[in-house]
């Protein structure tokens, strides 16, 4: 063990032989021989003619990956059977044993790989053009070159803008989401002509049923303060009042409907009540007079602002069952007195309860059983035939109505003893008119075998006693 003096300091060192001069000179470091070039790399410098050693250069050891080591250990185990390295063979990781366990080429190469991250944004064909079979292939730009769009501010006419608004309002009638409709209208950039929203929505609602008119009133009320303001409502209703002469041609009730809309907007605080006062003495059109009179009468009645919430009536599905049953009974009674099938059909459609039409069938059959006359049976059969032929009452609803009568026959027979006989004749008459099918006729209940002393004639009911 020798010592080396560096700047007056004694340093311990391993046996080192330093030779300099020729290219063939060698240096012995820790007992190993190397060239002078390598010696110069392994020493830090020359101090007073003495070369001092620097710390040994540490190179990172290249160890095989964990996956490779695991597979090799399994293959070299003591077992007699050496499992094939199928998993190693199909691995997408590096096989040289010096990787970090990451996919080859960063996942950008090989069969079945997704490609490098973001490669889909820069993917191009060899010739720089997109494949013609690609759904995104653009025939006008086959070279797939970038081009800049030039935005031109096109001034749309009122007719074109109203068509776009009309389509959005029609979609609103389907989904009923006022927020979605507001966002769609905002994208149309109608702020400068927002009164057209009022005009278009009211004109479209005039051609629809009362439930859609109620939805239109809700839409106009929800848009207040966001897209529509007081001036827009006033300008829109003023345009509708001036155009009543044309609206009456398509909708005869246009003056009354428009009056309801104006009164409802006043009740919703969209426009002030003074809006009606500004037209007094300034209107010469008869239709406009009817509209203003209708609005004034609705607002001047007792608790008018509260009642205007139901100016279009309550929606079909939200009304109580007892209310609907009462309406259908009144409908049938009015039909028996007027014999007007068209009016009865219109009243049934206005109820907007297609899921509850079986109640009409039930009440019609029960009315036939209670009246016990031929006229009622014939008129009800004609009504059901007309409703069935026009598919206003579906076969499912028709069947449900008759089955309900079959189930309630024991209770009906208490008040109407010959109910079974009348029911049989009425059902057969409806079968001839193709109102019901054979399956309904087969399920028809028959009269019980129990005999009563008061019936006489051995319990036999005379068929000619009823229609």
Higher pLDDT residue, 155 or 126?
155
- 343 and 288 in one domain? no
- 303 and 167 in one domain? yes
Within-domain flag for 249: yes
Longest Cα pair distance anywhere in the chain, in angstroms?
151
- How much is the pLDDT for 392? 93
Does the predicted TM-score (pTM) go above 0.85? Answer: no
Within-domain flag for 124: no
Within-domain flag for 123: no
Instruction: Read off the pLDDT band of 29 (50, 70, 90).
Output: very low
Token code pair at residue 47: 């101090």
For residue 59, pLDDT over 50 is answered with: yes
- How much is the pLDDT for 45? 47
Q: Domains in the chain: how many in total?
A: 4
359-387: average pLDDT: 94
- 198 and 240 in one domain? yes
- 300 and 167 in one domain? yes
DSSP letter for 28, please: E
Rounded Cα distance between 159 and 164, Å, is 9
For residue 33, pLDDT over 50 is answered with: no
- 302 and 163 in one domain? yes
For residue 32, pLDDT over 50 is answered with: no
For residue 189, pLDDT over 70 is answered with: yes
| Final residue belonging to a domain, choices 284, 310, 336 | 310
Higher pLDDT residue, 94 or 360?
360
CATH number at residue 164: 1.25.40.180
Rounded Cα distance between 237 and 283, Å, is 14
- 83 and 177 in one domain? no
Within-domain flag for 422: yes
Instruction: Read off the pLDDT band of 400 (50, 70, 90).
Output: very high
- 48 and 19 in one domain? yes
Under 8 Å between Cβ of 279 and 292: yes
Token code pair at residue 408: 């309630």
| Final residue belonging to a domain, choices 280, 310, 340 | 310
- How much is the pLDDT for 158? 85
- 304 and 282 in one domain? yes
Within-domain flag for 147: no
- 415 and 384 in one domain? yes
Rounded Cα distance between 96 and 458, Å, is 108
Within-domain flag for 337: yes
Print the domain residue range for 14.
2-53
Under 8 Å between Cβ of 459 and 422: no
DSSP letter for 312, please: T
Rounded Cα distance between 202 and 198, Å, is 6
- How much is the pLDDT for 143? 66
For the segment 267-305, what is each residue's pLDDT rounded down to a tens digit? 888 999 889 888 877 888 899 999 999 998 888 887 666
- 230 and 299 in one domain? yes
For the segment 198-241, what is each residue's pLDDT rounded down to a tens digit? 999 999 999 988 888 989 999 999 999 999 999 999 999 999 99
Higher pLDDT residue, 41 or 442?
442
28-39: average pLDDT: 44
Rounded Cα distance between 230 and 359, Å, is 46
Beta bridge partners of 47: 50
User: Which segment, 75-84, 128-137, 241-250, is predicted with the most confidence on average?
Assistant: 241-250
Instruction: Read off the pLDDT band of 25 (50, 70, 90).
Output: very low
Percent of all residues in the chain with a pLDDT value above 70, rounded to a whole number? 61
- 71 and 24 in one domain? no
State the DSSP H helix or E strand holding residue 343, giving kind and residue range, or none if neither: helix 341-351
- How much is the pLDDT for 24? 42
Within-domain flag for 140: no
Transcribe 37-55 into DSSP letters: HHHHHHEEEEETTEEEE-P
Within-domain flag for 120: no
| Final residue belonging to a domain, choices 257, 277, 310 | 310
For residue 357, pLDDT over 80 is answered with: yes
Instruction: Read off the pLDDT band of 62 (50, 70, 90).
Output: low
410-432: average pLDDT: 92
Return the residue matching tokens 């019980």. Answer: 448
Transcribe 199-243 into DSSP letters: HHHHHHHHTS-HHHHHHHHHHHHHTBTTTB-HHHHHHHHHHHHHT
User: Which segment, 62-66, 118-122, 350-354, 390-394, is predicted with the most confidence on average?
Assistant: 390-394
**CA distances (Å), 9 to each of 3, 12, 18, 283, 365, in order?**
10, 10, 19, 118, 125
- 165 and 32 in one domain? no
Transcribe 365-381 into DSSP letters: HHHHHHH--HHHHHHHH
- The SS3 of residue 33 is strand
For the segment 39-56, what is each residue's pLDDT rounded down to a tens digit? 444 444 444 444 444 555
308-314: average pLDDT: 74
444-449: average pLDDT: 74
Question: What's the whole-number average pLDDT of the chain?
Answer: 76
Q: For the chain, what percentages of helix, strand and coil (3-state, to nearest 5) are there?
A: 55, 5, 40
In this structure, the chain runs to a length of 467
- How much is the pLDDT for 38? 46
Rounded Cα distance between 380 and 426, Å, is 9
For the segment 70-125, what is each residue's pLDDT rounded down to a tens digit? 555 555 555 444 445 555 566 666 666 666 666 666 666 666 667 667 666 655 44
Rounded Cα distance between 251 and 196, Å, is 19
Residue 297's Cβ-side half-sphere holds a number of Cα atoms within 13 Å equal to: 10
């Amino acid at each position: 063990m020798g010592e080396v003096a560096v700047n007056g300091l004694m340093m311990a060192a391993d046996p080192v032989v330093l030779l300099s001069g020729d290219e063939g000179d060698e240096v012995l470091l820790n007992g190993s021989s190397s060239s002078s070039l390598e010696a110069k790399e392994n020493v830090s410098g020359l101090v007073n003619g003495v070369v001092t050693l620097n710390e040994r250069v540490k190179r990172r050891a290249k160890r095989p990956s964990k996956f490779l080591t695991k597979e090799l250990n399994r293959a070299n185990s003591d077992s007699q059977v050496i499992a094939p390295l199928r998993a190693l063979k199909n691995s997408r990781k590096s096989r040289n044993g010096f990787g970090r366990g990451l996919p080859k080429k960063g996942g950008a190469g090989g069969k079945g790989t997704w490609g490098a991250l973001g490669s889909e944004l820069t993917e191009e064909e060899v010739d720089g053009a997109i494949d013609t079979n690609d759904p995104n292939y653009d025939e006008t730009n086959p070279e797939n070159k970038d081009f800049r769009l030039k935005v031109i501010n096109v001034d749309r006419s009122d007719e074109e803008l109203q068509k776009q608004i009309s389509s959005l309002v029609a979609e609103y009638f389907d989904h009923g989401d006022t927020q979605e409709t507001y966002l769609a209208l905002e994208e149309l950039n109608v702020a400068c002509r927002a009164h057209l929203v009022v005009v278009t929505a009211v004109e479209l609602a005039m051609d629809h049923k009362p439930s859609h008119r109620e939805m239109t009133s809700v839409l106009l009320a929800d848009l207040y303060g966001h897209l529509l303001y007081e001036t827009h409502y006033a300008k829109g209703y003023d345009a509708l009042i001036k155009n009543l002469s044309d609206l009456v041609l398509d909708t005869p009730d246009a003056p009354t409907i428009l009056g309801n809309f104006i009164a409802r907007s006043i009740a919703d605080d969209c426009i002030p009540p003074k809006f009606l006062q500004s037209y007094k003495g300034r209107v010469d059109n008869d239709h406009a007079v009817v509209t203003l009179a209708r609005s004034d009468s609705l607002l001047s009645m007792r608790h008018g602002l509260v009642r205007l919430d139901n100016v279009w009536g309550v929606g079909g599905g939200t009304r109580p069952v007892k209310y609907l049953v009462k309406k259908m009974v009144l409908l049938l009674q009015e039909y028996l007195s007027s014999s007007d099938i068209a009016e009865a059909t219109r009243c049934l459609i206005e109820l907007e309860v297609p899921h509850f039409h079986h109640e009409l069938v039930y009440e019609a059959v029960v009315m036939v059983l209670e009246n016990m006359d031929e006229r009622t049976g014939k008129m009800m059969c004609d009504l059901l035939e007309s409703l069935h032929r026009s598919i206003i009452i579906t076969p499912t609803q028709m069947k449900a109505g008759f089955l309900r009568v079959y189930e309630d026959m024991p209770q009906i027979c208490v008040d109407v003893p010959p109910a079974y006989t009348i029911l049989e004749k009425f059902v057969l008459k409806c079968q001839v008119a193709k109102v019901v099918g054979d399956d309904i006729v087969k399920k028809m209940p028959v009269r019980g075998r129990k005999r009563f002393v008061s019936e006489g004639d051995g319990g036999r009911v005379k068929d000619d006693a009823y229609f």
